[in-house]
């Protein structure tokens, strides 16, 4: 939830893990030219409305910083003309608007790319935040905190890295894609309704989150997976409890989401301690945290409970996972009837770095004419 919708200032601090770009990424190309007649943007090959308020907020903020840099005479070479128009093309290699942080990745990438084009340096938290609050966290790799701040102007509502991507090399992330469809209730609209109607949300932000943030930072620093897992699941469950406490209620989870939760708890019970954890954002897709020595068995367990219907060879994407059998004892503990096709596919990944510059011209999305290469228009 937000305490200021215009400046995108949160009710509470939050923490996220940046995922590896070898498996999940947003790629963005921006170009500025006096020959462009207007600002334009393409997302996943389709032109979008450049007047979208949050996109305009990002552009205004980056141009303000560029103007400030020019007025103070900082930098060499001089900044591009601020009257020139900009073309932007952006592509996600994972489902968009399905509760997998596509807006966070997209606006972080946009802010970083525009800063390069306009030669703006320094912290870009405010630029990214104007597009999507959580995008400020995605400007950094590893484990990242978005500090809520106290100031009305939001200048202290910034992201900071809690630990780099190299800090916990054993940590793995499995994304169980239940649905790649756009969610019926968008995150922004849902949060606005929750802030207005959920008493639980206000209590959670004020009474619970500060201590949980400190505890989560400790778990990460000490690589305490059992406690990290428990906190992650409890916080996810509480988020969805606030969604149900919203009036009218919002339900992002579906029956498959709830079966995944059940599977995780029974898997942990079988082993006698926390070996996997789930978290769900504003969508039905599960993000699973585990350690490298548990990945193979858990993937096999998901395949057992949610056998692929037709895409068995494409069921697992990303990092390679060695196939292993599921023991009869584990199957007995699970006691779950298979639901074929319940999980469409799994993306196996790990903690990754923040934004990277692509030097290969073939990776650029805009051609010499400033139009998308693939679109040809």
Q: What does the pLDDT read at residue 191?
A: 80
* pLDDT > 80? residue 274: yes
150-171 pLDDT, tens digit each: 999 999 999 999 999 999 999 9
Give the H or E element holding residue 145: strand 143-146
312-342 pLDDT, tens digit each: 778 999 999 999 999 999 999 999 999 999 9
**Which own/partner pairs from 153-158 qualify as long-range (CB within 8 Å, at least 24 positions apart)?**
153/7, 154/4, 154/7, 154/8, 154/9, 154/126, 154/129, 155/126, 157/7, 157/9, 157/10, 157/125, 157/126, 157/129, 158/123, 158/125, 158/126
- 292 falls in which pLDDT band (50, 70, 90)? very high
Q: What does the pLDDT read at residue 180?
A: 76
Tokens of 261: 């939760």
- 98 falls in which pLDDT band (50, 70, 90)? low
CB 42 within 8 A of CB 231: no
How would you class 214 by CB atoms within 10 Å of its CB: exposed for 0-12, middle for 13-18, buried for 19 or more? exposed
Q: What does the pLDDT read at residue 377?
A: 41
Give the three-state DSSP class for 27.
Answer: strand
* pLDDT > 90? residue 348: yes
Q: What secondary structure does DSSP assign to 247-267, as a single string?
A: SS------HHHHHHHHHHHHH
100-139 pLDDT, tens digit each: 778 899 999 999 999 999 999 999 998 999 999 999 999 9
Beta bridge partners of 76: none
- Which ranges constitute the DSSP H helices of 148-224? 187-197, 199-203, 209-222
Q: What does the pLDDT read at residue 302?
A: 98
Q: What does the pLDDT read at residue 340?
A: 95
29-65 pLDDT, tens digit each: 999 999 999 999 999 999 999 999 999 999 999 999 9
CA terminus-to-terminus distance, the chain: 39
Q: What does the pLDDT read at residue 82?
A: 86
CA distances for 345 relative to 71, 145, 238, 243, 318, angstroms: 52, 29, 26, 26, 11
* pLDDT > 50? residue 376: no
């Amino acid at each position: 939830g937000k305490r200021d919708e215009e400046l995108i200032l949160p009710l509470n601090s939050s923490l996220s893990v940046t995922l590896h770009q070898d498996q999940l990424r947003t790629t963005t190309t921006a170009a500025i030219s006096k020959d462009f007649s207007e600002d334009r943007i393409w997302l996943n090959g389709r032109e979008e409305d450049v007047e979208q308020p949050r996109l305009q907020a990002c552009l205004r903020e980056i141009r303000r910083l560029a103007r400030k840099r020019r007025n103070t005479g900082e930098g060499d070479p001089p900044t591009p003309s601020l009257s020139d128009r900009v073309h932007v093309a952006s592509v996600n290699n994972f489902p968009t608007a399905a509760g997998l942080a596509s807006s966070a990745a997209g606006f972080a990438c946009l802010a970083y790319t525009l800063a390069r084009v306009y030669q703006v340096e320094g912290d870009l938290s405010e630029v990214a935040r104007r597009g999507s609050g959580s995008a400020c966290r995605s400007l950094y790799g590893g484990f990242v905190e978005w500090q809520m701040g106290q100031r009305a102007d939001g200048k202290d509502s910034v992201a900071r890295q809690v630990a780099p991507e190299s800090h916990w090399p054993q940590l793995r992330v499995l994304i169980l894609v239940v649905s790649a469809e756009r969610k019926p209730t968008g995150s922004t609209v849902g949060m606005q309704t929750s802030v207005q109607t959920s008493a639980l949300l206000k209590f959670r932000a004020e009474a619970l989150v500060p201590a949980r943030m400190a505890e989560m930072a400790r778990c990460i620093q000490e690589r305490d997976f059992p406690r990290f897992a428990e906190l992650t699941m409890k916080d996810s469950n509480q988020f969805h409890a606030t969604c149900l406490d919203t009036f009218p209620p919002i339900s992002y989870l579906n029956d498959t989401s709830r079966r995944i939760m059940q599977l995780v708890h029974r898997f942990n019970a079988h082993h006698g301690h926390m070996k996997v954890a789930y978290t769900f954002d504003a969508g039905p897709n599960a993000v699973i945290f585990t350690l490298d020595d548990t990945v193979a068995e858990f993937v096999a367990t998901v395949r057992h409970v949610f056998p692929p219907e037709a895409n068995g060879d494409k069921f697992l994407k990303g990092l390679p996972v060695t196939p292993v059998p599921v023991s009869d004892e584990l199957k007995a503990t699970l006691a779950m009837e298979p639901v074929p096709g319940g999980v469409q596919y799994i993306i196996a990944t790990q903690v990754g770095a923040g934004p990277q510059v692509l030097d290969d011209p073939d990776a650029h999305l805009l051609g010499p004419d400033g139009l998308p290469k693939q679109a040809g228009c």
